[in-house]
A and B are shown apart, each in its own frame.
Chain A
Amino acid sequence: MLAQKTIAQETQCYHCGDDLPKSPYTLDDKPFCCLGCQGVYQLLSSHDLGNYYAYNDVPGQTQKNGAQHFEYLDEADIAANLLDYSDEKISVITLYIPAIHCSSCIWLLEHLHKIKPTILQSRIDFLKKQVVVTYKNKELSLRQLVETLSAIGYEPLISLQDVVKKQKSDHSERNLITKIAVAGFCFGNVMLLSFPDYFGITNLDQEFKSFFGWMNLAFSIPVVFYSGRDYFISAWNNLKNGILNLDFPLALGITVMFIRSIVEIIGNTGAGFVDTLCGLVFFLLVGKWMQQHTYHHLSFERDYRSYFPVAVTLIEKGGERPIPLNELKVADRILIRSNEIIPADAILLKGDAEMDFSFVTGESLPVKKVLGEVVYAGGRQLSGALELEVVKPVSQSYLTQLWNNEAFFGEKNRIRTFSDRASKYFSIVLLSIALGAAAFWMFKGDTGKAVASFTAVLIIACPCALALSSPFTLAAVLSIFDKNKFYLKNTAVIEELARINTYVFDKTGTITNPDVSGFTFEGSITEEEKQLINDLARNSGHPLSRELVKWLNRPAKYTVGKYMEKVGRGITGTVNGNTLKLGSASFLGLEVKQPAKGAVVHIIINEQYRGFFCSEQQWRSGFKELIFKLGKAADLHLLSGDQDQDKQTLIPFFPRAQQMHFKQSPQNKLDYIVQLQSSGRKVLMFGDGLNDAGALKQSDLGVAVTDNINNFSPGCDAILDGASFYKIPQFIQQAKDAVKVIHMSFAISLTYNALGLYFAVQGMLSPLIAAVLMPVSTVTIILFTSIAARLYAKKNQLL
């Protein structure tokens, strides 16, 4: 066991756990995959922070992604916007660090003062992936702080849209918890004071009975007017809009219970229903809290602002100066360094532009731009600095203008849940039974019984169990999905998922796996020559070279001489006495017709053309089965921004070829969804890039597929980890089963209601029956829904 573990570790980088290259870097007998990882290790061990590696194996983050520039943090007004608090001596800042993932991270980031003694305190909120740092602002600038974090591999994400969530959302949750606390406090005390009555107080002093009654009444006041307030407000607002939802019978029940308790206690005719009332409100609020499950580390409301940088380097006559992005104007000249993002549509003036548009289109292969060409906002420059002239303001760029579409304004139509629809009929039936019972006793001439039965029906039928069926079922399903890396925005999404009958897929990055790519070789080449190519290509940082080396998968054998790289175009060098040239056709001076698909690397060995490697896209694992399963019951569509080179390979998957659309602009995609919806379809859209953002927002259910949930994903209803892509049919089935569970639990709680009504219509409901029936039905529902949801999850292989 132990021996196995050591072997496993030796093939991994000691810092980040990546596979080691054939010739790893070593320091202190520990292997590292790159200089970056080794540097972090060196920094940590020199500051006596070696414990970082003791709490977890390979806790670090890969350092291969290159450094960012933080000069803009020196600008006072940019920094002032970011700081939480600042005075003459200290500053406090909350930073969002996506890399936080294990206990070692907590330990290291809370020991920052060992690296920089000027950092006074740092505290982590692990679930939100935030760190609050207090530092002496005289001795340490914000930029230095961020650079320190960056140097140990914890680069904070600083973006235009405040990623560090404002405390506002917390307040609503805190308010709810306070309401639950008040209701729980009153419920407990009322139960205590009601017990004597349950066991028969008659032989005790009557004096106590009315004292307990008055105490109960006093406890019910905060429950009704503070904790239960929202039910009255919501019932009233809905009535005004002509909607009968479950809040109406709830508010009615609470009111009737409260008034009847007052009458009974003041008139000393009975014990009232205060115990039932408090229990009801308490359980209802707990149900509400269950439904408010939030993911602190995920955001479903992101738009382009959370992806764009905070500042950009402006080129002026006097030199370079970082300015906040909102001050960027048309005709400004900007400098984009490698790894920076183009914030606005701009014309390329200087430099070799090689843009990674993977966030925008999902396409991982870089795109080259020539001088004078317009570069769209959202691309990331891969290598070398660029000079550009802005041609459109940030908010008017090709991509960002999508956000001006009406789909982004106003709330999406509220998802109609089953309980919304059922409660309408429920309310009507309930009111007619109550009135019927009252009329019956009136007719018999017994006014007292008429009032008693009318109120009793409203009390006993107060749909507590009914109101809890949905929240508890859906909360259980939500946590099951959560374990399977499918994160939903809220519980209503589950019911929507069960109703979907049309699926729309984006191609690149959504159904293809951006990480895995294979190559085919056309031409003739020997194994020995592959070795030469491998040794040459491993020197290049270009994504295509890296993919090629990964695919060739062999150790380095020869050293390379006269290595030269033309960024983004090709590489040359001599390996074992042979002159090699790898790269694009234009770099090698070839007149080769581009093949139909994929990126191409041409090979020239000793001035002789040997052929080319062509990259192939790989479908996500399980894609074929997934399409087959979904296609049986629903309509499938494909929308791709790319050329139609993959059409032939996709025809077996999408049987109706007219439902595959290529060369779609973001606006086209959005319009297509609208068109589907207007023909009455419930559309689910799978997408990943910014170009799908409009379609995701417009569709009934937008699901963003991403391989790293900490990365940017566009605004959507749900985020799906790429690793769970093949589980989609199971998720759909589970959502359908969840709706079934809700139906069943509705039936159960209606049975309880009918049972209570049997007593109520006869006008002989005692407070004891109400006090027993309400919690028993509630507990039954909670147990039934949680167990049933889990059983179904087992059946669907999600647990």
Chain B
Amino acid sequence: MNIIYFLIGCSILLALIFLLAFFWASRTGQNDDTYTPSVRILFDDEVQPVKEELKSDEDHT
């Protein structure tokens, strides 16, 4: 049953890592703006015609 000490140690360590990760996120301001990223992610990527040209060039060679 002594394995319990090890398991509890592991579980607390894991929880501590998450806690520290949260501190880091909070301190670097990642929770300051909780709205804008949800809008930003919905914007379409720009269609870039330049890339298509490059592609067709590749096809030729």
Contact = CB atoms under 8 A, between A and B. Distances in A.
B23 A178 contact: yes
A752 to B, nearest CB: 31
Interface string B6-32: 001001100110010011001100011
Nearest to A106: B39
A174 interface: yes
B43 A181 contact: no
A181 B23 contact: yes
B33 A125 contact: yes
Interface string A169-200: 01000100110011001001100110000000
A371 to B, nearest CB: 51
Contact of B39 (A103, A128, A174, A215): A103
A110 interface: yes
A73 to B, nearest CB: 26
B15 A188 contact: yes
Contacts of A232: none
B35 to A, nearest CB: 5
B40 A106 contact: yes
Contacts of B42: 103
A110 B40 contact: yes
Contacts of B61: none
A208 to B, nearest CB: 7
B19 A182 contact: yes
B47 to A, nearest CB: 10
Contacts of A211: 5
A126 interface: yes
B15 A124 contact: no
Nearest to A126: B36
Interface of B (DSSP majority class): helix
B4 interface: yes
B50 to A, nearest CB: 12
B22 A125 contact: no
A107 interface: yes
A185 B19 contact: yes
A514 B26 CA distance: 44
Contact of B1 (A177, A178, A205): A205
Given A107-B43, A188-B15, A205-B1, A125 B32 contact: yes
B30 to A, nearest CB: 11
Contacts of B1: 205, 208
Nearest to B1: A205
Given A174-B26, A178-B26, A106 B5 contact: no
Nearest to A114: B46
Contacts of A79: none
A174 B31 CA distance: 9
B42 to A, nearest CB: 7
A215 B36 contact: no
Interface string A91-123: 000000000000100110010000000000000
Contacts of B5: 211
B26 A177 contact: yes
Contact of B33 (A126, A177, A178, A188): A126
A174 B27 contact: yes
A124 B36 contact: yes
A177 B31 contact: yes
Contacts of A208: 1, 4
A651 interface: no
A127 interface: yes
Nearest to B5: A211
A189 B11 CA distance: 9
A205 B4 CA distance: 12
Contacts of B8: 193, 215
Contact of B35 (A55, A127, A205): A127
A177 B16 CA distance: 16
A185 B21 CA distance: 12
B35 A126 contact: yes
Contacts of B15: 185, 188-189
A174 B8 CA distance: 30
Contacts of B4: 208
A110 B15 CA distance: 37
A103 B38 CA distance: 10
A51 B1 CA distance: 64
A215 B11 CA distance: 13
Contacts of B39: 103, 106, 126
Nearest to B44: A51
B10 to A, nearest CB: 13
Contacts of A170: 32
A574 B6 CA distance: 97
B58 to A, nearest CB: 25
Nearest to A182: B19
A215 B8 CA distance: 10
Contact of B36 (A125, A177, A178, A205): A125
Contacts of A181: 19, 22-23, 26
Contacts of A124: 36
Interface centre among A110, A185, A215, by most chain B C-beta atoms within 10 angstroms, is A185
Contacts of B35: 126-127
Nearest to B19: A185
Interface string A203-238: 001001001000100000000000000000000000
A174 B33 CA distance: 12
A440 B19 CA distance: 46
Contacts of B31: 174, 177
Nearest to A174: B26
Contact of B12 (A103, A107, A126, A189): A189
B20 to A, nearest CB: 10
Contacts of A185: 15-16, 19
Interface in A42-58: 51, 55
Contacts of B33: 125-128
Nearest to B16: A185
Interface in A13-70: 51, 55
Nearest to A128: B33
Contacts of B12: 189
A3 B11 CA distance: 62
Contacts of B23: 178, 181
B27 to A, nearest CB: 7
Contacts of B27: 174
Nearest to A170: B32
Nearest to A211: B5
Given A106-B39, A208-B1, A211-B5, 20 more contacts: A103-B42, A106-B36, A110-B40, A124-B36, A125-B33, A125-B36, A126-B33, A127-B34, A128-B33, A170-B32, A174-B26, A174-B27, A181-B23, A181-B26, A185-B15, A185-B19, A189-B12, A192-B11, A205-B1, A215-B8
24 contacts: A103-B43, A106-B36, A106-B40, A107-B43, A125-B32, A125-B33, A125-B36, A126-B35, A126-B36, A127-B33, A127-B34, A127-B35, A127-B36, A174-B27, A174-B31, A177-B31, A178-B23, A181-B23, A182-B19, A185-B16, A188-B15, A189-B12, A193-B8, A205-B1
Nearest first, the 6 A-B pairs at minimum CB distance are A126-B36, A125-B33, A103-B39, A185-B19, A126-B35, A127-B35
Interface of A: 51, 55, 103, 106-107, 110, 124-128, 170, 174, 177-178, 181-182, 185, 188-189, 192-193, 205, 208, 211, 215
